[in-house]
Amino acid sequence: MAGVAGGLYDPPPMTSLDRYILRQCLSMMLFVTAALSAAVWLAQSLRLVDLIVNRGLAVEVFLYLALLILPRFLDIVLPIGAFIAVLFVFNRLTAESELVVMRSAGLSPMALAKPVFILAGIAFVLLMALSAYFLPASNREFKDLQFEIRNRFVSALLQEGTFTSISDKLTIYIAARDERGEVVGLMIDDNRDPNQPVTILAERGAFADSGKASRIIMVNGSRQRYDRATGKLSVLTFDRYTLDLDMLRDAPGVRFRDAQERYLGDLFFPPPELDQMTRESFLIEGHQRLIVPISVFSFVMIPLACLLTGQINRRGQLTRVLLAVGLAFIFQAVDLAIKNLAARHPAATGLMYLTDLLPLFVGLGILLLDGIRVRSWRMPVFAR
């Protein structure tokens, strides 16, 4: 009984109290994560609405694109959701005197923290699944679909009165669209052949989908071709002219995939044919994928160290809550700064792990020292 009353560790099996705390923290974490994710997802998805309203892209394609961007910010929102959940639950337990009863029953800070560590373990598994598979898979599918839209649905990307770069070799400008979907005032800058760039001007035009690529059918215009070798400019006027926009002939499966589209195996063991800078960027991305799941332990440790140690004030812990929020903000800011530093200087990669693990180890030390202090204070009482 003495070990239970004042010891630093409890027996491994979960008690009803552990399940009670874990259930509250888990439900709150899921609620906060869902709410934050919905807000960010909605803000990001609004940028895609124009593709439906004004560009005629199918609703199914829009919903699929919106779904694919979800994992991009879920790995950021989930650790924050775990932090808010632990902070809210333990502050409420204090306000309702439940935490006071638990501490009076002899439960040490480490014993009270056990369900939170289980919560962090659940979040860690979810984040690792995101980092290892769902994040690169969604980015890969998003880029492939974006490739297809650029290649087959060029008309959906064009904005009136704006120069739109379809690729680094093709730029299209349209002045306006009429009620039939045709474009008015069309200019195309075609540099697919760098030795003979072409500029096309047309009064009107319309897009046609051939099934494999898009084509522009233009009327009443001119085609100007400049020969860099001879310095001559040739001009051809036309009543009707068709331009094939199949400028990206490589299939999506063989295009180069950047670091965000790669799985962990490719990041830590990049292909040998890549240059040194690309290989370093792959390694940095791989380490960041591992660090994000680890950071959740530090995020939950911050409110534990602030709320479970010292004397408990049942009238409110506003100062401690604000301290936890401030420490979490500083931790996030320093973490982002170190990641940006490592992206420029790979030698600083170890600092990323140190930054993300430091709050965890410091918090564990604070909880253990507070448990020793409480135990030493209770020992004379039990001796009498």
Query: Which sequence spans correspond to the domains of the chain?
Result: 2-150+264-383, 170-246
Q: Any alpha helices (H) in 212-348, and if so which ranges? A: 264-268, 276-307, 318-344
Given pLDDT bands bounded at 50, 70 and 90, which one contains residue 7?
A: very low
Give this prediction's pTM. Answer: 0.73
At 322 the pLDDT is: 93
Structure tokens at 12: 């491994």
Alpha-carbon gap, residue 81 to 310, rounded angstroms: 25
Residue 200 has pLDDT above 80, yes or no: yes
Residues 201/222, Cβ–Cβ less than 8 Å: yes
pLDDT tens digits for range 277-333? 889 999 999 999 999 999 999 999 999 999 988 777 656 678 899 999 999 999 999
Task: Give 171's contacts (C-beta < 8 A, 6+ positions apart).
Answer: 163, 164, 165, 188, 189
Is pLDDT of 274 > 80? yes
Dihedral sign, CA of 152, 156, 162, 165?
Answer: negative
- pLDDT tens for 15-28 read 888 999 999 999 99
Which pLDDT value is given to residue 23?
Answer: 95
Is the pLDDT score of 80 beyond 60?
yes
Arithmetic mean of pLDDT over the chain: 82
Find the range with the poorest average confidence among 173-182, 339-348, 357-366: 173-182
pLDDT at 86 over 80: yes
Please, what is the Cα angle at 280 between 278 and 282, to 5 degrees? Answer: 70
Output the pLDDT for position 251. 43
Residue 204, pLDDT > 60, answer: yes
* 170-179, 297-306, 366-375 — most confident range: 297-306
> What is the mean pLDDT of the segment spanning 122-141?
93
